[in-house]
Structure 1
Amino acid sequence: MALSGERHLSWRDVLLRERPRPERIRLRPGAWWLAVSTVCFGAFMGQLDASIVTLTYGSVRTEFHASLAAVEWVSLAYLLTLVALLVPIGRLSDAYGRKLFYLYGFVVFTAASAACGLAPSLATLVAFRVVQAAGAAMMQANSVALVATSAPRERMRTALGVQAAAQALGLALGPTVGGALVATLGWRWVFGINVPIGLVALVAGHYLLPRTRSRQQSDGFDWAGLALLVVATTSGLLGVSAASGLPVPGWGVAGLFVLAAGAGWAFAVRQRVAAVPLLDLALLRVRAVSSGLIGALCGYLVLFGPLVLVPIVLTGGGSSELTAGLVLTALPVGFAVAATAADRALPAALGDRGRCVLGALICVAALVAMVLAPLTPGPLVLLLAVLGLGLGIFTPANNTLIMGAIPARSSGTGGGLVNMARGLGTALGVALVTLALHLAPPHGVPDGPRWAVLVLLMAALVAVYAARSGPRAGARAGARSRT
């Protein structure tokens, strides 16, 4: 009878069914490590794509005869879609299955990557990047939740550190691989590299990821809240981009910022009165969550700002894309080293809050030195490595504070919040660096890049403040229920 029931499953049942791991894998003592390692595929893939794309700006501008402000939307369209979709997909994943959404995310992301590599125009490329971001949102909204619910509580920080290291590895390989691909095969192959990685990750996820054991009932969806969030984030970043060189009159730029502020205010009001709000405001009232999300936004602004700034500065000074990529690799390499070695190198008595403060202060020191030092390959390699070390200490500890304060049944929503903050920080890193370069272009002395570094320094100082204002102790032991 069971076999007959399987035969008569509808196509919807088949597509929406979250399949378990094989029994021999589920019962292995280290099964949680297999799950974490599989999530690292998605972490690696997403950051590889993010760090590679900035190196295509010059070639894309040349091929499509576009301005830098127009080309930056290859990144911004992707990031805006992420920001809009991470929280709603996190909520849907909590209700219908995190593994299910994660695997379908790989399918969408991989197919859209192939389409980006074949794009015939800049507008088409941007459109395909939106689709690619929808797939990335399905992966990223669940990545932190899958790690946090798979790993034993006492190993959560280690597991999140490994995931952060996988992200850093993607970031580290991105500039080098991207620079080599752009310099040899062309910018289109930058997107094609995602295809084989995505296929391997899809197979691994099917066999190694656990089903969702703790689910949250879905009682509806706040479509009006989603629309307001999209309007607020899109108009705000479009305003920054317009001020960076898009052919938009001054009154249009002001109007975009007014629209962003109005939509943001309406979104906040909507979340207070909606029966099923998009954001759980109760989570945001937890100090570990709210201060941690501010830190996550600032940390990723500091991480991704140099990915735009350094290639522009070095290639503008006569260096090749490959040289720029090699120099930029120092940042994620430092991140990876700190994310994996911090537990062994730092004293056990230094808790997550202390690590956040320490990591953010190292970032401040590196950026102060970057303001004063010449922005040439030699000094940049050292300073980017130190900046990466600071971020590698800060990020896993900050994520642990956030996820440790969120109940297990809301892990997908919490993971979506973390990744939304990351996505918004990344988008602001791209947009604000471009704005600084446009408003203060270099004339002999590289004033534009200095202003861009000052923007990153201010974000690092906010991260220090957020870390210091967070809770002095870790999340309550009973804050999470593991099933």
Structure 2
Amino acid sequence: MGDSAYTDSDRKHLLACTVSGAFITPLMSTMMNLALMFIGDEFSVGSHDLGYVNTMFLLGSVIAMVPSARLASIYGMRKVFLLGLVITGVTSFLAMLSPGFAFFVAMRFAIGFGSAMIGVTSIAMLTYVFPRERRGWAIGINTTSVYIGLSLGPTIGGLVSDAVGWRACFVIVLALVIVSLFFVSNFRKEVTPTPEEAMDWKGSALWSVSVFVLMFGVINITSGLAAGMVVAGLGLFLVTVWYLRRCGSPVLNLRLFGIRTFSRSSVAAFMNYGASYSVAFFMSLYLQSIGALTASQAGALMLVQPAVQVLLTARMGALSDRMGDKRILPTLGMLIVSFGVAMFLFLGTEFSLPYVVLMMLIIGVGMGIFSSPNTSVIMSSVPGKYRGEASGVVSVVRQTGMMVSMSIAMASIAVIMGSTDNLGPSTYGDFVDTMRLAFSICLGMCVVGILCSWFRGSTDEECLKLI
């Protein structure tokens, strides 16, 4: 079914349900960042263990995204979107009732599964239903909703945690799930790009196991078994790639990476999110410890970065639709992000409010310019039949970048702070050194992202033959 088969009413209903659905995950993530100090106090865990709150959520997302994208293309994207909402709602309710830290982290992992189903179908449905000349605009609106969630999350999370406790954050998530279910009920047409193909369960299992083993080893790099898990994970990952290249109907179409524009734009997205995602994690701890701010005050301050992204993202998506050279905006955005990341290297134990605001402002501008235009290039670089799979790759790249960013953060904490990772005046210097190590690595990722963005090339017939 082509985009001409959908009415303007269909498009409005779809945009409403995907926007409300896309709003949930970032809101939940940023609310948790401002709740970390409260969670750590309640469950008596340090900064390394607190990293699991976001990292396991992202790990669950990355594991689920690849099979979810394939299932959506075969059985229907609307069905998978609905299932994702239900899983997110149920596991959020259970997380709210967590009796201990291990159970809470397990629920965060499960919530990641549900959010993956929402994420991989949102952009894909918009890409199929909206015509090419309005696709960038629709994706921009969807991405803006993500940034609105990021914007409101710190403030809401800080206020709720200070007023009634961190568990109440999940009440807000449950309310949003209900709202999204209402909107999706008004979009009644199914989007099923490849109903004739079969599900690759073997590839799904290989992907899930290899990613879990590899990333769990990285985030616990200083433990005894971590090195072995990293080696085993890399081996399993290579086996997974070997299998996917030879499978007739793979769960992840690696042939898409034969399109230079697609592959290099995807790498640029990975580097962007890998370099910037841990900013919120580190800043939430930095502001409430060295900065001596309350959760509410930290939440208001952290509003700066995503608020700027909200103001720019939709406009940049629409501007990208009108520009001939699609490299300019994403590359400029990546360059600006690199300046913001570099500023982390000069943070110290003396808190400077203007410096922190400027740093977050710069990163917000860069992200706002980069995200929507780059996503539009990726989705437009593949034939229509493969847009569902391309959407899955976009989501996997984004979430994997975020997961790697958190893995770098946790590994840096483990290497420098070790077992003395409870934040206090005696460990502030080590915490600053940890941030400098992490963002030195992230700055290198920015450089790679800039190069991939500018030299991404253009889609041509020879590339399309690879598919």
* TM-score scaled by length of structure 2: 0.89
Q: Distance in 2 between matches of 1:475 and 1:342?
A: 25
User: Which of 401, 420, 423 does residue 377 from structure 2 map onto?
Assistant: 401
- Once the two structures are superposed, residues 317-374 of structure 1 have per-residue CA deviations (whole angstroms, 9 ceiling, x without a partner) of 1222222222222111121112022257789446322111111111112222343355
More displaced, 388-397 or 51-60? 51-60
Equivalent of 1:354 in 293, 303, 328: 328
- Which residue of the partner structure matches residue 413 of structure 1? 389
Deviation at 1:306, TM superposition (A): 0.6
Q: How does 1:152-171 map to 2 (within 5 A)?
A: 152-171=131-150
Specify the code of the residue in structure 2 equivalent to 1:234: F
Instruction: Give the Cα separation in 2 of the matches to 1:352 and 1:475.
Output: 15
Is 2:258 the partner of 1:285? yes
Deviates more, 1:39-48 or 1:434-443: 434-443
Query: Which runs of structure 2 are paired with 1:298-309 in the superposition (5 Å)?
Result: 298-309=271-282
The aligned residue for residue 404 of structure 2 is 428
What do the CA deviations read for 1:197-239 (whole angstroms, capped 9, x no partner)? 110110111113632163342223232x223322322222222
> Is the contact between residue 274 and residue 403 of structure 2 (CA under 8 Å) also seen in structure 1?
yes
Pick closer, same or farther for the CA change 1:470–1:95 going to 2, 3 Å: same
Distance change (3 Å), C-alpha of 1:401 and 1:332? same
Q: Give the 3-state SS of the residue equivalent to 1:352 in structure 2.
A: coil
Count of equivalent residues: 446
Gaps of 5+ in 1: 1-25
Change (3 A) 1:377 1:453: farther
Structure 1 215/464 Cα, relative in aligned 2: closer, same or farther at 3 Å? same
Call closer, same or farther: CA 1:175–1:475 in 2, change over 3 Å.
farther
Do the aligned residues in 2 keep the contact of 1:161 with 1:340 (CA within 8 Å)? yes
Answer yes or no: is 1:99 the counterpart of 2:85.
Answer: no
**C-alpha distance in structure 2 between counterparts of 1:151 and 1:413, whole Å:** 17
For 1:240, the equivalent position in structure 2 comes to: 218
Q: 2:221, 2:430 → 1: CA distance? A: 23
Q: Indicate the SS of the match to 1:217.
A: coil
Whether 1:188 and 2:167 are equivalent positions in the alignment is yes
- What is the CA-CA distance between 1:445 and the residue it aligns to? 9.1
Give secondary structure in 2 for the equivalent of 1:319: coil
| RMSD value, Cα | 2.4
Q: Does 1:229 align with 2:191?
A: no
Q: Distance in 1 between matches of 2:115 and 2:340?
A: 31
Amino acid at match of 1:67: G
Amino acid at match of 1:358: L
Q: Are 1:216 and 1:410, in contact at CA under 8 Å, matched by a contact in 2? A: no
For normalisation by structure 1, the TM-score amounts to: 0.86
Distance 1:61 1:229 in 2: 32
1:330–1:456 Cα change, 3 Å = farther
Unpaired runs of at least 5, structure 2: 1-5, 418-427
Contact 1:357 1:467 in 2 (8 A): yes
Q: Distance in 2 between matches of 1:347 and 1:47?
A: 26
The aligned amino acid for 1:163 is N
Letter in 1 for 2:301: V
In the alignment, is the contact (CA less than 8 A) between 1:334 and 1:386 conserved in 2? no
In structure 2, give the amino acid aligned to 1:418. Answer: V
Looking at structure 1, the residues matched to 322 and 196 of structure 2 have their Cα atoms a distance apart, in angstroms, of 39
Higher deviation after alignment, 437-446 or 290-299:
437-446
1:336 pairs with one of 310, 313, 330:
310
Alignment partner of 1:436: what SS?
Answer: helix
Q: 1:78 aligns with which of 52, 57, 70?
A: 57
Task: Report the Cα offset of residue 469 of structure 1.
Answer: 2.3
**CA offset at residue 154 of structure 1?**
0.6
Secondary structure of 2:277's aligned partner: helix
8 Å CA contact 2:272–2:445 kept in 1: the answer is yes
> Which SS does the other structure have where 2:69 is aligned?
helix
User: Residue 301 and residue 444 in structure 1: after superposition, are their counterparts in 2 closer, same or farther (change >3 A)?
Assistant: closer
CA-to-partner distance for each residue in 1:20-40, whole Å, 9 max, x for gaps? Answer: xxxxxx64x454233223211
5 Å matches for 1:33-182? 33-182=12-161
Question: Using the alignment, how far apart are the partners of 1:344 and 1:75 within structure 2?
Answer: 32
Q: Is the 8 A contact 1:360 1:391 kept in 2?
A: yes
CA–CA distance in structure 1, aligned partners of residues 159 and 452 of structure 2: 38
Q: 1:453 to 1:99 in 2, by over 3 A?
A: same
Letter paired with 2:400: L
Q: Identity percentage over the alignment? A: 23
Runs of 4 or more above 6 Å deviation: 344-347
Q: CA separation of 1:182/1:455 partners in 2, compared to 1, >3 Å: closer, same or farther?
A: farther
